[in-house]
Chains A and B, each alone.
Chain A
Amino acid sequence: MSEKKIPEFSANWSAEEQGKWGLVVDQDLCTGCQACVTACAMENNIPFVGEEDAAYGRAMHWIRIERFWEGVYPEVKATPFQPVMCQQCGAAPCEPVCPVFASVHSQAEQLNIQVYNRCVGTRYCANNCPYVARTFNWRDYERPEPLPNQLNPDVTVRRRGIMEKCTFCVQRIKRAEDRAKSEGREVYDGEVEPACVQACPAEALTFGRLDDPESAVSKKARSGRGVKLLEDLGTLPHVTYLKGGA
């Protein structure tokens, strides 16, 4: 598990600097079934906000399926479903603006890390995220019995006043890395699957090591159909979207 020294200043990054962990979303395969949304909520102890708060936009899902259409009724055409989650940007705009260092960059995992117990809830990071990928605990949401039995012990349960977002299921990454280290090997391709990747019935999501050119995710990311969201902003996201037909 070699640790790559990434240059500090993003302007010094070379074009091939892909980072370590990456996700590929194949929009031509996505059916919009929201199994990923559900799996993520189960894996990461995401609270249920209730009907009223959800109607006001406060649903706390770390991944959302964006649905659009083109044209005017009755000649409407659906566009591909777009699952959006934290893009784990290489030059994340959410990081420098947090006054207490609750949103920082991991040099080892090359992910954007949200430190729950440090967050004081200024929500500047959320305002600065161009992908609107961050959610906030607006209240202490109830978990009536027996829901607490469903909680994942690997993931912190957050209180009111804390920001949260997709972590690429860093708890699964860490578990796989620990297992690999104890067995004296590297993590092999496909060993780590975030909850969304695991749950997708259409296999539209692929996850793995972007710095390994032979991994499935690297090959797909390099394909001609690959685009990045809001690429011109220079955030260097680690999520590639495939669309445009076979």
Chain B
Amino acid sequence: MAEKLSLLAIFPDIDPAAQAVDELRGLGLEDGDINVISGIPVTEAMLGRPRQWSNVPRLALGGAVGGFLIGAFFAFGTPNLYPIYVGGQPLLPGAPSIVVLFELTMLGMLAATFLGVFLDSRFPSYSPKEYVPQISDGKIAIFFECPAEKEKKCSQRLLALGAESIQPAEAQKL
């Protein structure tokens, strides 16, 4: 029955932050308990973190299929529903249908990608969160949950590696 504490450690640069992640893992913390918050996208490889999985590509594909189906309805469905003959062209025109299908497939894919980011990142979210404004000024923050008894040890080790500060993580309005 370990009480878990949420702490936020702020590092000035990527190197000490990467070492800190290793250190925390060495002290027994799970990868899921550690979250790195940064002002630029630091790749997982640089930090020695497991790969982030994202639903965005699958949603993009789904959106492309959805867009294609809507395009098919416009190009083939509507002329069948309400046939109107124009200009000696066939009712279901070949080349124009390709244009319609292409545009709507792309729109579907891109709209789904965009909404996928929102969905995956749980945007928009205005509830209080663990954050410090220094992060957008270039600091790397490590937000981790550690059992109460290990807290002192973690803090010492991280300070030794160059952490600027370690504070209890408070969820505050952004």
A residues with CB within 8 A of B: 8-11, 13, 90-98, 101, 103-105, 107, 236
Contacts and interface: CB of A to CB of B under 8 A. Distances in A.
B87 A96 contact: yes
Contacts, number: 41
Main secondary structure of the interface of A (DSSP, over half): loop
A117 to B, nearest CB: 15
B87 A91 contact: yes
B89 A104 contact: no
Contacts of B40: none
A105 B87 contact: yes
B86 A105 contact: yes
Interface size class on chain B is under 10
B133 interface: no
B85 interface: yes
Contacts of A90: 88
Interface of B: 84-91, 93
Grouping DSSP codes into helix (H, G, I), strand (E, B) and loop, the B interface class, with mixed when no group exceeds half, is loop
Contacts of A103: 86
B165 to A, nearest CB: 62
Contact of B85 (A11, A105, A236): A105
A10 B84 CA distance: 15
Contact of B86 (A11, A96, A236): A96
A95 B90 contact: no
A60 to B, nearest CB: 24
B172 to A, nearest CB: 53
B86 A104 contact: yes
A93 B89 contact: no
Contacts of B84: 101, 104
29 contacts: A8-B85, A8-B88, A8-B91, A9-B88, A9-B89, A9-B90, A10-B87, A10-B89, A11-B88, A13-B88, A91-B87, A91-B88, A92-B87, A92-B88, A93-B87, A94-B87, A95-B86, A95-B87, A96-B86, A96-B87, A96-B89, A96-B93, A101-B86, A103-B86, A104-B84, A104-B86, A105-B85, A105-B86, A105-B88
